[in-house]
Structure 1
């Protein structure tokens, strides 16, 4: 049974787990962990007029998450038992509010509580727009390890404060919104692995300069890897396989050049795709912090660049089945 815990494990814990089967076990463990993110502090509203507005906003958040509860059709672990009038909604399991403004900043239902529920229920998060405004302070959405299906609701792009979007191991399909990186510039963690997403990876991710982890593995993405990672200096994990990425174009592998500026990269997983070409010499200029690098099960050929010896902390190099 999954438990909510604070994320304390470092990235080194993934060493030795990059092969497909073992990595999946690791991800199940990660999915049971409660992701942490920084909370925005809001100014205290002191005047009677502003206090009334603050109460109204607080009440609309309450109504919004009650609407979510009404949409959940199966709760085998009784996670939502605490969602009742005996407690303030900020004390409900899986709900976190700001310390001062008491607005919802995190929704974590990463507990396999949602059985065969279409993702249209996520529109309930936007329920409060009928009153004061949507839940703009929401910074974390975590609905991993459930049975969600459907597509990504367009309204998610309005949650501009969102820092963590974690919906791994569901059955969500369709393509990612092409402007996702422009509309969610504050994203730090994106976990959508283990779904049924299709189409190309949006170029707009270049705008997510605060991104720490980009995990798009175990989907059905296709086409050329066209992400410019140069503006992501804090990026630590890139997971893009298994997918069906590849274009057979001569510059197919040039995306590696854009990783050179990511000086904190520790894990790059590109295994089980359709990448074709020669590894560029720039691979030797990747982060000196890199501990795991996988290009296995692709169509890569040629010689291994000698500069790869510069990766002094590298412990796992997977290039089999090419």
Structure 2
């Protein structure tokens, strides 16, 4: 039995994951990359703002039933950060959830939402991260409970529970709505918090229904269109809240949503905040003018 278990573990270790991508040789736009880093929550997650930690030098621990996840240092420091990485390493980490040495990342890192990032997105993020001051420190280590501490087991999880986000444009929808879809379903990864998870931590197939069991005991409400409208949200109110954190009732966001706004959505331009609101409040597929005319024939 021990030999069988050992053989199974060795097989998992040897099981290749991911795919070999082409070199990323595009010139990056650091300004666009910084904007994308805000939209994608990189700053909010990888900066311990409560402890006034350095930007992107590592975030506060996320306590879950599987153990404690600590967002790592992603400054250009060679020893403690990602200074030894290549743009391809960054692309593989973000789009596939695989480290430079080929190990799978835990799903606390929402890589499934970044799968649609283009090579230009990766080049822009790489250029932006290169401008961050390197920080020669590690702010903690991820500490997983057995058997979740066996990272190779994540290969089985990827094969059974991983759901990649769908953020591609929908034919017949407005440019604003599709931009909202790109952000909500992709970079902004709203579903990572506002969607429930199964026993193994995989996202439920039905999105945005709320999550009562976030790390640290936080709760994320449903952000489905009906729930938002029942709670008094309008497109104007939602766009305003993403900028200020103030709700239609005059209250303010609490929990992790505070950091999402302060370190992320408040930095987005008004058009993108309105696009997010347009998508969340009108998720149904809208017929294009041509499709509508065709139905009248």
User: TM-score when scaled to structure 1?
Assistant: 0.25
Looking at secondary structure, tell me which structure has more strand per residue. 1
The structure carrying a bigger helix percent of its residues is 2
Structure of greater relative contact order (alpha carbons < 8 Å, 6+ residues apart):
2
Q: TM-score, normalised by structure 2?
A: 0.27
